[in-house]
């Protein structure tokens, strides 16, 4: 059994391993949240070796009453063993559940989840659309705005207003809601962050000082042709249904197109009906689905 570690040499080794496998498979295997915590040294890691060779790493962070984990491994057997290690550690630490996120379409993962006693939790769609956008089928006399007067985010000045709108709009969301300023600022200190890519909308005014909405974009310049992501988007709930979400999405995609992206990409919960409907209407189609599995734990 692998031993849980938080040492900086182990977290650095885990990150190197993940990046090597990602480069080899040309895919993203770790979520931004776990990658960010790994870089910040706040994640727990487990290594699995066979015949003296590293076969995989599990990364986990505490999230509320439970733990969230992701595994990057070369073989299904290594994935299974690493998950067992995480579960044992989580149970010992008194966690109430373990949520396992998977980012590849590998049929063996569902089998491992079933064997270990996980149940299906969430399905996250990755949607894509070719740029420039041509699929917006709204009529010319549409009363909703198709353009939003966005401006770039001002670090420091806009932090609190961003947080109000993010946490209000995502109050129902386990991972995107309930952010702290520290969490937000840590994300803004990532090497890829550029305040010009975070478009904010000031008007109409909200009563709680939150932004009317925002569209945070991210450029994946490592992919050719470049893919532009709608990273996080939200409209203040008091202003929902006025066309601002569509206008912000369009503004974000135009921004990405002008930056060189020829495909727009985003992740959305399959059950987020307003958002999925909005994206489909703009021409987005499903590229693949990330799946999370949940295991409830009893006290040790």
Q: Does 235 bind ligand COA (CB under 6 A)?
A: yes
The nearest distance, CB 248 to ligand COA, in angstroms, is 7
Q: Does 242 bind ligand COA (CB under 6 A)?
A: yes
CB count within 10 Å of CB 160 equals: 13
- Judged by phi (left if over 0) then psi (alpha if -120 to 50, else beta), residue 94 lies in left
Question: Contacts with ligand COA in 149-178 (CB under 6 A)?
Answer: 169-170
User: Residue 39 or residue 272: which is nearer to ligand COA going by CB?
Assistant: 272
User: Residue 11 or residue 292: which is nearer to ligand COA going by CB?
Assistant: 292
Question: Taking contact as CB under 6 A, which single stretch among the options 8-16, 19-27, 83-91, 275-283 is the one that binds ligand COA?
Answer: 275-283
Radius of gyration of the chain (CA): 20
Q: Does 43 bind ligand COA (CB under 6 A)?
A: no
Positions of E strands within 117-257: 119-130, 151-152, 198-201, 213-220, 227-235
Q: Does 244 bind ligand COA (CB under 6 A)?
A: yes
Q: Which residues, in sequence order, are CB contacts of 6 under 8 Å at separation 6+?
A: 41, 42, 43, 44, 45
Q: Does 59 bind ligand COA (CB under 6 A)?
A: no
Q: Does 145 bind ligand COA (CB under 6 A)?
A: no
The nearest distance, CB 217 to ligand COA, in angstroms, is 13
- Per DSSP bridges, beta strands 285-296 and 44-50 are unpaired
User: Residue 50 or residue 203: which is nearer to ligand COA going by CB?
Assistant: 203
Q: Does 256 bind ligand COA (CB under 6 A)?
A: no
Distance CA 294, CA 272 (A): 19
Q: Which residue is nearest to ligand COA (CB)?
A: 245
Q: Does 286 bind ligand COA (CB under 6 A)?
A: no
67 phi/psi in degrees, rounded to 5? -120, 150
Q: Does 55 bind ligand COA (CB under 6 A)?
A: no
Find where tokens 């949520």 sit: 99
The continuous run of DSSP H or E covering 100 comes out as strand 97-102
Q: Which of 3, 6, 123, 144 binds ligand COA (CB under 6 A)?
A: 144
Q: Does 241 bind ligand COA (CB under 6 A)?
A: yes
Structure token digits, residue 31? 């979520």
Whether the ω angle into residue 81 lies within 30 degrees of 0, i.e. cis, is no
Q: Which residues bind ligand COA (CB under 6 A)?
A: 144, 169-170, 233-235, 240-246, 266, 268, 272-275, 277-278, 281
């Amino acid at each position: 059994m692998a031993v849980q570690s938080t040492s900086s040499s182990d977290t650095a080794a885990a990150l190197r391993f993940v990046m090597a496998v990602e480069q080899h498979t040309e895919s993203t295997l770790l979520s931004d949240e776990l990658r960010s915590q790994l870089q910040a040294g706040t994640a727990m890691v487990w290594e699995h070796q066979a015949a003296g060779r590293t076969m995989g790493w599990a990364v986990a962070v505490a999230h509320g009453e439970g733990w969230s984990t992701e595994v990057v491994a070369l073989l299904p057997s290594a994935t299974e063993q690493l998950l067992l290690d995480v579960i044992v550690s989580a149970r010992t630490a008194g966690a109430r559940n373990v949520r396992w996120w998977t980012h590849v379409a590998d049929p063996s993962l569902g089998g491992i989840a079933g064997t270990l006693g996980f149940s299906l939790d969430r399905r996250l769609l990755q949607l894509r659309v070719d740029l420039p956008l041509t699929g917006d089928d709204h009529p010319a006399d549409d009363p909703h705005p198709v353009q939003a007067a966005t401006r770039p985010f001002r670090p420091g000045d806009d932090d609190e207003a961003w947080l109000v709108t993010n946490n209000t709009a995502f109050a129902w969301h386990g991972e995107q809601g309930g952010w702290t300023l520290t969490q937000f600022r840590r994300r803004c200190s990532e090497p890829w962050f550029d305040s010009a890519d975070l478009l904010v909308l000031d008007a109409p005014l909200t009563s709680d000082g939150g932004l009317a909405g925002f569209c945070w974009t991210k450029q994946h310049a490592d992919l050719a042709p470049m893919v532009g992501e709608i990273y996080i988007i939200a409209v203040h709930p008091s202003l929902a249904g006025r066309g601002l979400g569509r206008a912000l999405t369009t503004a974000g995609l135009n921004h990405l197109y002008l930056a060189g992206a020829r495909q727009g990409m985003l992740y959305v919960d399959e059950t987020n009906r307003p958002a999925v409907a909005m994206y489909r209407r703009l021409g987005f189609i499903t590229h693949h689905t990330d799946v999370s599995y949940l295991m409830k734990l009893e006290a040790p």
